[in-house]
Amino acid sequence: KDVHQAEYQSVSTRGIILWFSLAACGVLFCGYLVARTGEVLAEQTGLGQSLIGATLVALATSLPEVSTTWSAIRFGAYSMAVANILGTNVLEVVLFLPADIAYRDGSIIEAMDPSASFLAALGIVLTSIYLWGILERRDRTILGMGYDSALILLFYLGGMGLYYTLSI
């Protein structure tokens, strides 16, 4: 941690903010490209926007969180790693607000593919499992991970398999 901080000692706060802003703009632009490419991929493969959005687009747009979380863990910033994951979760839910405002034909939730409701329920279940893990705070593990993480893996894989089945 101290070695990493020393590496940036000579960079001003203004310089760090500039680099941070440029990186964020790069992520924003790449997000646009991922969405457009996902739309074309959904059309050309016939798999549908919901399935492509729930899998490939979600994976691609989560890569910055994966990278940030992994880096935070490597630097020993465990609270930052967890806060990044949970903060992203909170922000993603709040994104319904601008999406709903931008959608001019009523509620955007009413316009989504009905199978996407399954994703909403799965997201609530997965978040609830981690909430249970946060509240319980026990050191029990299975296969080297907490019980909550093992349940998440099970529910995520099962849920996405079921979602795929419902989507085709």
User: What are the residues facing 141 on neighbouring strands?
Assistant: 146
Residue 111 is encoded by which pair of tokens?
């316009």
- Averaged pLDDT of the chain: 87
Tens digits of residue pLDDT in 102-136: 998 988 888 877 777 888 889 899 999 988 888 88
Task: Looking at the chain, list the stretches that DSSP marks H as alpha helix, in order from N- to C-terminal side.
Answer: 2-7, 13-45, 49-52, 58-74, 78-94, 96-102, 108-111, 116-136, 147-167
pLDDT, residue 10, reads 76
- Average of per-residue pLDDT across 36-46: 93
> Which one of 33-42, 53-62, 80-89 scores highest in mean pLDDT?
33-42
The rounded Cα 127 to chain-centroid distance in angstroms is 12
Q: Which of 10-24, 77-91, 97-111, 139-153 has the lowest mean pLDDT?
A: 139-153
pLDDT, residue 95, reads 87
Position 8 pLDDT exceeds 70: no
- Tell me which amino acid residue 44 is: Q
Domain ranges (residues) in the chain:
2-167
